[in-house]
Structure 1
């Protein structure tokens, strides 16, 4: 399930270019106001059902600044999805009770309008777009293990012979783990994904002092609808609670 949030913040409101940490803090605090126990589970238990968030999408006139996008009227759109209704319910309740207390940067939330977003009847074969990081640790002698941000189409300086294949394997593994969390049993079916290389772009973010490269791309995926629904509800790839991996129908 997915919610569409229309949020009004104090003006002037800035969407920072490096938004992941502030977005996560806003959402986890909102969930905490609605149900503290759910917030703690999300924050501390990596093997528990979580949520996926989109980027903050500005509404109205926008001006680019050195630090971010200045939204003149302070209004933004945000999508949040989860396979667990209690997570979304806690967020809805928290937004309702947290007006004036919840904030991004130094700007308080003044108003929140919440709607249920439409879910496609069929996902397999559809064309999508997302912004998603996928990272892996690999051996890098003599420096030991280091993190590498994988590209869905590969990179010239990659330590992997076929980086796009490794990327696909990790995306599939990540979705199987989410499926197990949601349904309580392993997924045994197939999964296919095709990335359109012409539209792939990379963006760098800093999260908890670590540089993270995410890739924005268009793609199609195939498989069992129940399995693909997990990608729709929970996100593709990693760091979904920080605003990555929400898939959008083209």
Structure 2
């Protein structure tokens, strides 16, 4: 499930840092109920040694201009938020609509509206477009024994295989009775870049950590349960930091005006 919120800046325009993922994440946590916010922020859900926070969000959609280290948004903006847990989205939407004004970064906005979107059926293969760029990485040991993070590109085989393995874990968390996770080696899965070039690579600073991620148009094929999970949780890693949100891509010539 996903919601799209629309906000109108009280002064007609709003300024945010270029690397605003952490600002947007804090905005989401701040507008959840205290109990949900604390549980989601502090622990999330655990599978083995991994902690998952099963929500994701888009880049900010709207008219904008880049000015040095800031982005100037002019007029209304919208943000997509997705999660397989309806209570998270209900909590946010309830708190959002109750407020006469709401703060994002150093700016105040009027909460303009909430749109709810539920995807119940989907069949692959499908074309998808990133609403926030996808990041895929491995932690490796360098020759001197120090840990090093290696970020993959969509043109490397590991990009697809790591996305698949990550989705298997998310499916297991959401539905422990799924029969698909018992035979994960035989799961039909493919993820191919369709309209992706070097310009789709993004370097994002999240609280001092430099993250490489990729936007663009891709073809995704997987069982329906995997596709629905991908839409609800995002693809790849760091979804709760604003990475990996996708939408179904219908028209090859359509363009969404976003800051991704």
TM-score bracket relative to the smaller structure? 0.7 to 0.9
Name the CA shift for 1:17/1:223 in 2 (closer, same or farther; >3 Å). same
Secondary structure of residue in 2 paired with 1:132: coil
The equivalences for 1:80-229 within 5 A come to 80-100=81-101, 102-117=102-117, 119=119, 121-130=121-130, 131-153=133-155, 164-185=156-177, 187=181, 188=183, 189-196=187-194, 198-199=196-197, 201-229=200-228
State the alpha-carbon separation in 2 of the partners of residues 198 and 9 from structure 1.
Answer: 33
Structure 1 stretches of 4+ with a deviation exceeding 6 A read none
Corresponding residue SS for 1:136: strand
Answer whether contact 2:15 2:73 (CA < 8 A) is retained.
Answer: yes
Aligned to 1:240: 239
Number of residue equivalences: 233
Cα distance between partner residues in 1 of 2:164 and 2:136: 11
Q: Tell me if structure 1 keeps the 8 A contact 2:16–2:71.
A: yes
Most deviating of 188-197 and 224-233: 188-197
Rounded to whole Å, the distance in 2 between the matches of 1:118 and 1:185 is 22
Taking the aligned partners of 1:229 and 1:193, their CA distance within structure 2 comes to 15
Partners of 1:115 and 1:214 lie apart in 2 by 27
SS in 1 for 2:154: coil
Which of 54, 57, 68 matches 2:58?
54
Whether the 8 Å CA contact 1:132–1:238 is kept in 2: the answer is yes
Distance 1:13 1:137 in 2: 37
Aligned partners of 1:249 and 1:220: how far apart in 2? 10
8 A contact 2:154–2:192 mirrored in 1: no
Partner of 1:40: 38
TM-score using structure 2 length: 0.82
CA distance in structure 1 between the partners assigned to 2:207 and 2:106 by the alignment: 19
Aligned partners of 2:79, 2:119: CA distance in 1, in Å?
A: 16
User: CA deviation digits over 1:104-145, x for unaligned, max 9?
Assistant: 221123223001136384241111122111121011111522
Deviates more, 1:208-217 or 1:192-201: 192-201
SS of structure 2 residue aligned to 1:237: coil
* SS in structure 2 at match of 1:127: strand
Q: Which runs of 5+ in 1 are unaligned?
A: 154-163
Across the aligned residues of Structure 1 and Structure 2, the Cα RMSD in angstroms comes to 2.0
Distance of 1:103 and 1:123 partners within structure 2:
39
Cα 1:49–1:17 shift into 2, 3 Å: closer
Q: Distance in 2 between matches of 1:17 and 1:99?
A: 27
